[in-house]
Amino acid sequence: MIAMVLVLVAAQGTPSDFERSRTLYARTSGKVVGGSVEPHWYADGKFWFRDGKGATILVDPVARTRKTVDKDKLPTGATSTSKKGREGVQQRQSHAPRGEASPDGKHRVTVEKGDLRLDGKTIARGAMPQEYYEGGVFWSPDSTKFIALRTRAGRRRVVNLIESSPKNGIDPILHTFRYDKPGDELDVTTPRLFHATTGKEITLDPTLYPDPWSIDEFRWGTDSQTFTFAYNRRGHQVLRIIEADAATGKTRAVIDEVSKTFIDYAGKRFVWYMPDSILWMSERDGWNHLYRIDRKTGTATQLTKGDWVVRGVDRVDETNRLVYFRAGGIDSKQSPYHVHYCRVAFDGNQLTHLTAGDGSHLLRRSPKGQYLVDTYSRVDSPPVSVLRDADGKHLMDLDKADITLLTATGWQMPERFVAKGRDGRTDIWGVIYRPTTFDPKKRYPVLEYIYAGPHSAFVPQTFAAFRYEQEMAELGFIVVQIDGMGTSHRSKTFHDVCWKNLGDSGFPDRIAWMKAAAKDRPWMDLTRVGIWGGSAGGQSSLRAMLAHGDFYKAAVADCGCHDNRVDKVWWNELWMGWPIGPHYQEQSNVTNAHRLSGKLMLVVGEMDRNVDPASTLQVVNALVKADKDFDLVFLPGTGHGAAESPYGRRRRAEFFVKVLIHSSR
């Protein structure tokens, strides 16, 4: 029995495996025929598209016909799908224009050496370089008042990078750039209101906007009596829309959003201003939904509701009082990560599903909006395109992908798998990749590709002939990708696991998921588990070894933000909180480096402007002090994502084959 196991293991990680991995993209490229439709629309709703075989197909939605035509004989005047017609991009409003001249052209506001000047006269002084007025102001429509921005300078930390091997010289080059980090004293910008005729300031009541992270989205009322602005308090637990009385300077909160953990302003912020109300996105009921807020009373009308989330707003139709949006988890029989398109009225009624079919969807609408081309797929189901009317009714099938050529290469369909997480109740979703030479009688080491950044979810949801995870599987691995708790696009409770807890990275869920998968898949060898990732994934990869070294035996950590005090301020304070607490140090990979017990490769580029390379080098220092063995790949002239360079990928692949396959023989 022992001899048989050794033979089965020895058959992996061979030169032929490396060659098959290296050529995977070339072997699978162009092997999926059709499925996706890019329509070219005519004014009457007809359109043409080119199918996977290169044929030109003319579609008549009224007659519900599709026929092959000579492209040179097509009617002229068709337009391709524009960004406006391609749903899936969050719609944004423009805000008050910023400039020097008043709308009536009678006044001009300028800034000179930090001082504010009105029509050539200084009306407010700065104190350069510590305090100053910024150029460009927000004028009221009637030209009687304007809003200026005054900034108090913070620490303005810089990072220094040394380019050791410049292309056009011998001597190293020092690169210095601004890089604020968590806990730093930051620039603070606040609004100031002035009369255009007298230049006198109208003092605004600042009570509602202390410790600002940002103050923006200035909008004057059409009558010039009031203006509004958005305020995000540092720490990202308070987000307000504030209205100011231009005559008195009094302020009030039209919308007052408060969270005990964090408000995901970077990924779940949507504001749409209308004369009587504001459309607003919020997780206040535990799920990301849309609300209409009365501007006078602050009363909220919930437009969407349920155990699902709004993924983004595509279009606001103020004339018909409708909101078009993307939803996740709205079909309880499907993956909660599948994107569907919907529509709802301003009063919260008439919720309409515009897409159907088990998969993640992409809509392309006709210029007049009367027809929708709906393309959907899953990682284990090739693309299908259908035509729908404006209400989502299926009119006709358009195209379906043919993967015959792909499967002929030996390509293995990724497998979706769902298991319960750490609490025994919550579904955790992931994907399993197998090599094209997969033999269920063999035992394969398992590699996890991780990115656990809370700003999104990362397991693929749509079909693709090639993914890098498959390339790694070709070497003789089972590769998995999992969205654990702490990532986005689920409930607020699911997301909040990351709060002041980035070191968690969802590992209790990931480990439970892999153990559940291995119960029915004896070819998954959980005694040989490796993990890799970059950036936040690099942080998590090393964290896996330090906190869960009994399960993860090897890791490649690329350009990791290993200590959240060393990384960029906005991303880390959003999830880890402000002011800086002891949990920052407690979860630092530097602090815990002495816990390393498995095989580790660190990768970093010396010119990384995203994550300070010092983050990795401080881990190196801690490992050396703890007398730990590890590999370091330091790439001169390389920026963020150094391990994705050809050299980095080769070293990573060889490392995992060496420590998880060859060393077990």
Alpha helices (H) in 322-409, listed in sequence order: 404-407
- Is the pLDDT at 507 greater than 60, yes or no? yes
Packing angle of the helix pair 507-519, 536-547 (nearest 10 deg): 70
Query: Who contacts 140 (Cβ-Cβ below 8 Å, separation ≥6)?
Result: 146, 220, 224, 227, 246
Mean residue pLDDT across the chain? 95
CB contact at 8 A, 414 and 468: no
Closest CA to 154 of 112, 189, 199, 186: 186
The pLDDT, as a whole number, for residue 99 is 93
The pLDDT, as a whole number, for residue 665 is 61
- Is the pLDDT at 388 greater than 90, yes or no? yes
- Cβ-defined contacts of 280-283 (< 8 Å, 24+): 280/241, 280/255, 281/310, 281/313, 282/257, 283/259, 283/492, 283/495
Q: Which residue has the higher pLDDT, 552 or 98?
A: 552
Instruction: Find the mean pLDDT for residues 518-524.
Output: 98
| Percent of the chain with pLDDT strictly greater than 90 | 93
Q: Alpha carbon 438 to chain centroid distance?
A: 33
Token pair belonging to 253: 């909160």
In whole angstroms, what is the distance from residue 646 CA to residue 541 CA?
Answer: 20
pLDDT tens-digit map of 417-455: 999 999 999 999 999 999 999 999 999 999 999 999 999
The pLDDT, as a whole number, for residue 11 is 64
Instruction: Find the mean pLDDT for residues 370-396.
Output: 98
Run of H or E including 279: strand 277-282
Query: Who contacts 262 (Cβ-Cβ below 8 Å, separation ≥6)?
Result: 236, 237, 496, 499, 574, 575, 577
- Is the pLDDT at 546 greater than 60, yes or no? yes
pLDDT tens-digit map of 255-300: 999 999 999 999 999 999 999 999 999 999 999 999 999 999 999 9
The pLDDT, as a whole number, for residue 459 is 98
The pLDDT, as a whole number, for residue 323 is 98
- Is the pLDDT at 10 greater than 70, yes or no? no
Report the residue count for the chain. 665
Q: Alpha carbon 510 to chain centroid distance?
A: 20
Instruction: Find the mean pLDDT for residues 12-33.
Output: 94
> Half-sphere exposure of 484 toward its Cβ, with a 13 Å CA cutoff?
28
The DSSP secondary-structure symbol of 365 reads: E
Instruction: Find the mean pLDDT for residues 474-500.
Output: 99
Token pair belonging to 361: 């969807």
Question: What percent of the residues of the chain are helix, what percent strand, and what percent coil, each to the nearest 5?
Answer: 20, 35, 45
In whole angstroms, what is the distance from residue 581 CA to residue 501 CA?
Answer: 12
- The residues that bridge with 292 in the sheet, in sequence order, are 279, 301
Instruction: Find the mean pLDDT for residues 458-466.
Output: 97
pLDDT confidence band for 3 (50 / 70 / 90): very low
The pLDDT, as a whole number, for residue 91 is 62
Query: Who contacts 351 (Cβ-Cβ below 8 Å, separation ≥6)?
Result: 304, 342, 343, 344
Could you please state the CATH topology (level 3) that the domain comprising 413-453+467-664 is classified under: Rossmann fold (3.40.50)
Least confident of 4-8, 308-312, 488-492: 4-8
pLDDT tens-digit map of 196-220: 999 999 999 999 999 999 999 999 9
Closest CA to 548 of 448, 432, 658, 428: 448
In whole angstroms, what is the distance from residue 317 CA to residue 331 CA?
Answer: 24
pLDDT tens-digit map of 72-95: 889 888 888 654 445 555 666 777
